Chain A
């Protein structure tokens, strides 16, 4: 498992019930389609509530984090499957 902390571009569906679903993201100029969302949870950091997602594409598990304060996404870790 490789721990990272890099800003990434993510295509997201914001659902009517406040649900967030990442659909694809870019890593090193390659597009990764999200096949499954394995887990999702929220963490409070001071006043900010960050959204965490464990997602898989066809070859790896990724942790994505959404910061609603500035609407940015970060890739936190990767594990090859």
Chain B
């Protein structure tokens, strides 16, 4: 049976949610920024885009293009809530909904036509319901696979609906720049350009052997993509693979060189990672710390622990050890901690009384914070120092489960 895949892509999601929650912002050029100190634009409303304002631009640059620009700080919780409601609504049309990011989802509607008649009708039902319930618009793409459905949703923005039928695929791909396909980034596009390939049509007929020599097994994948082929299934949340790691990172409000200031941020991150791992009864032996310098140079260091970590203090101490082994060459812009290498045995019973006390204290803190919100009870050294940096929503964000990241 031929598959019918639908891709829903919310238009300027963060900015549109802000405009809906504050009517005074509607119809005006606005941008959502990470924080007051880091003024990089996360999303621009379509009114701002009309002036040439783009994601990734700095606010002062954007203001040169659009002096009346309104800058709004990011409200991750609000976006996560609206996104979760939209994803719940999408599940009315098929159980096969894959949350691709906070503002994108794939639906496999191959088995839904008996109930809803046509793919087009499902698309319009989704668009109308999102518009009337949330005041938001989305672009929808319908195609025989995920690759083409995503491509289709990009074709008409905002508020578009594009259908790519199987017989239209070769003509659509023929002159399409390779970089337009999801999964072919700037780096790959550049490498393909060195081979004289700029369009999908050129890539689709390029000798497989040369691609293999240049890209390895990815060469085969590139060829298939250029031919519009993609067998990857739509994976519903319940069928997603077990989570391999839990991590948090934060861009600091200002670059830090002072180790004691850095250690405070590490404690906060350790608590965030620890809380999430404990919520899902996970304990990991591998701790990874990521550091980004002021000039955007980024690196990671990893340690293996003799016993699995789940308590925030243990994660913090392991992170401090990594920090102690690093000679910081520049002020730090971003810090991240990731816990992985889950231990099947889970949490070990404490051998010494002191360990048991730590566990009981952590359990008590968790229980208060679960009820009253993260960091209601926390370490004294974090009081008044919680980093209010740009908490950019992770691509791994999901409305529920281990991938759900609570963005306080």
Contacts and interface: CB of A to CB of B under 8 A. Distances in A.
Is B truly associated with A? yes
B120 A54 contact: no
A41 B120 contact: yes
B121 interface: yes
Contact of B132 (A41, A43, A77, A81): A81
B131 interface: yes
Nearest to B117: A43
A77 B117 CA distance: 13
Contacts of A61: 128-129, 132
A26 interface: no
Interface in B221-258: none
A3 B117 CA distance: 11
A56 B92 CA distance: 20
Nearest to A40: B124
B52 to A, nearest CB: 30
B128 A39 contact: yes
Interface in B89-134: 92, 115, 117-118, 120-121, 124-125, 127-129, 131-133
Contact of B129 (A43, A52, A79): A79
Which size bracket describes the interface of A in this complex? 10 to 19
Interface in A41-81: 41, 43, 52, 54, 56, 61, 63, 77, 79, 81
Main secondary structure of the interface of B (DSSP, over half): helix
A38 interface: yes
A39 B127 contact: yes
B132 A56 contact: yes
Contacts of B92: 1
A81 B120 contact: no
Nearest to A55: B128
A3 B124 CA distance: 14
A52 B132 contact: no
A3 B121 CA distance: 12
A54 B133 contact: no
B128 A81 contact: no
Contacts of A56: 132
Given A43-B118, A43-B120, A38 B132 contact: yes
Nearest to A56: B132
Contacts of B129: 1, 61, 79
Interface in B124-166: 124-125, 127-129, 131-133
Contacts of B118: 43
Nearest to B131: A38
A63 B125 contact: yes
Interface in B49-102: 92
B123 to A, nearest CB: 9
Contacts of A54: 124-125, 128
Contacts of A41: 120, 124
Contacts of B127: 38-39
A72 B115 CA distance: 22
A2 to B, nearest CB: 11
B120 A1 contact: no
Contacts of B133: 81
Contacts of B121: 43, 52
B254 to A, nearest CB: 45
A9 to B, nearest CB: 22
A39 B200 CA distance: 33
A13 B133 CA distance: 27
Contacts of A38: 127-128, 131-132
A77 B115 CA distance: 12
A43 B125 CA distance: 14
B144 to A, nearest CB: 19
Ranked nearest first, the 9 interchain pairs of A and B with the lowest CB-CB distance are A54-B128, A38-B128, A39-B124, A61-B132, A39-B128, A38-B131, A56-B132, A81-B132, A41-B124
Given A39-B127, A43-B121, A54-B128, 11 more contacts: A38-B128, A39-B124, A39-B128, A41-B124, A43-B117, A52-B121, A54-B125, A61-B129, A63-B125, A63-B128, A79-B132
13 contacts: A1-B125, A38-B132, A39-B124, A41-B124, A43-B117, A54-B124, A56-B132, A61-B128, A61-B129, A61-B132, A63-B125, A77-B125, A79-B129
